[in-house]
Amino acid sequence: MGRLDGKVAIITGGSRGQGEAEVRLFVAEGAKVVISDVLVDAGQALAAELGDAAVFTRHDVSSEEEWANAVALAQDRFGRFDVLVNNAGIAHTASIAAHTVADFERVQAVNQLGVFLGIRSAIEPMSNAGGGSIVNISSGAGLRATKYMIAYAASKYAVTGMTAAAAMELARYRIRVNSVHPGVIATPMLDANSPEMNAAMVAHSPMRRMGEPLEIAQAVLFLASDESSFMTGAHVPVDGGAIL
C-alpha cells in the first residue's frame, strides 16, 4: 500500500530537479499528480513516462488564470485535489547594488506571488474535500539569509511567513500548511552560481556535501501524507545541518 494512495497532488516546478524527484516519488507512493511547469518538453516527457498517474500542464505560477486551470485539470482528470507542493522557484545571484528592480520583481513573482496564489487556489477545493496538505518549498535562505541573494532571501523569508500565517488560518478547514527548507541541493538551479559560491555554501554544512533531490522529496512526502497529520506551521530544514 502506498503512502499517498487515493491522493491527488499538484507539484509546481515538477519537470526537473527537486520537483521531478517529488513527482516520481509521489507516483511511486500511489498519488495521481499534475506536473506543473513552464518547461514544457521535460514536463511532457515525464508525464508520458509515468502514464495514467500523471498529467502535465504548462503553468506560470505568477498567473491567477493558470492557477485556476491547473486546479481544474486536477479535478477534471483525477476527481479531487488533496496535496499542493509549491515547489517552483528561481534564484538570482548578484550584489545588492547590481540587483535591478526587474531582477527583484522576477524572483518575487515566482517565489512569493506564486506561493500565495497556490495557497489561495487550494482553499476551496481542499476544504470542500474535507482537508488537505500544502507543502511550501522555502529554503535555508528563508531561515538564515545568504549573501549576494537579496531577492531570493526576501522571497524565501516570505514563504516562511506565509506558511505560518496560512497554517493558523486554514487549520479550521483541516488544511495543513508546512514548509521545507532545503540546503545546497544538486539541481540545475546551482548552475548559475560560481563553483566557489557553491563550495562555500557546502562548507557551512556539518555534513560537508550537497543534498540530493530525493532527500528533499522524502521530506515532502512525509508532510503530504497522513503520517504528519498533527503537523501544521512547521518549518523543516533539510540542509545537512547548515542552519545550526
Give me the pLDDT at residue 199, please: 82
pLDDT digits (tens, 9 = 90+) for 14-40: 999 999 999 999 999 999 999 999 999
**What is the side-by-side strand order in the sheet with 235-238?**
54-58, 32-37, 8-12, 83-86, 132-137, 175-182, 235-238
- Residue 190's contacts (CB-CB under 8 Å, 6 or more residues apart) are 184, 198, 210
- Per-residue model confidence (pLDDT) at position 198: 79
Residue whose grid cell is 517552483: 88
The domains of the chain are located at 8-236
The β-bridge relationship of strands 32-37 and 8-12 is parallel
More confident call, 135 vs 188: 135
Q: CB of 111 within 8 A of CB of 159? A: yes
Residue 194: pLDDT band by 50, 70, 90 thresholds?
confident
Tell me whether strands 54-58 and 8-12 are parallel, antiparallel or unpaired: unpaired
Give the HSE-up count for residue 200: Cα atoms under 13 Å, Cβ half-sphere.
8
pLDDT above 90 covers a percentage of the chain that reads 86
Confidence of residue 176 (pLDDT cuts 50, 70, 90): very high
228, 222 in Cβ contact below 8 A? Answer: yes
Place of cell 494512495: 5
Q: CA 189, CA 20: separation in Å to the nearest integer? A: 13
CA–CA dist 144, 138 (Å, integer): 11
SS3 213: helix
Collect all residues with Cβ–Cβ distance below 8 Å to 67 and sequence separation of at least 6.
59, 61, 117, 118, 121
Check residue 112 and give its pLDDT: 98
- CATH class of residue range 8-236: alpha beta
Residue 37's pLDDT is 98
Q: Which residues are catalytic?
A: 152
> pLDDT digit string (tens) for 215-244?
999 999 999 999 999 999 999 999 999 888
Q: Residues 35-84: pLDDT tens digits? A: 999 999 999 999 999 999 999 999 999 999 999 999 999 999 999 999 99
Given a contact cutoff of 8 angstroms between Cβ atoms, the answer to whether 48 and 39 are in contact is: no
Residue 105 has pLDDT above 80, yes or no: yes
Q: For cell 487515493, what's the residue?
A: 6
Q: Is the dihedral of CA 172, 136, 27, 75 positive or negative?
A: positive
Q: What is the mean pLDDT of residues 194-203?
A: 79
- Would you state the pLDDT for residue 195? 82
Amino acid at 219: A
71's grid cell: 486546479
- Give the chain's radius of gyration (CA, Å): 17
Q: What pTM was computed for the model? A: 0.95
Structure confidence by residue, pLDDT tens digits, 108-159: 999 999 999 999 999 999 999 999 999 999 999 999 988 899 999 999 999 9
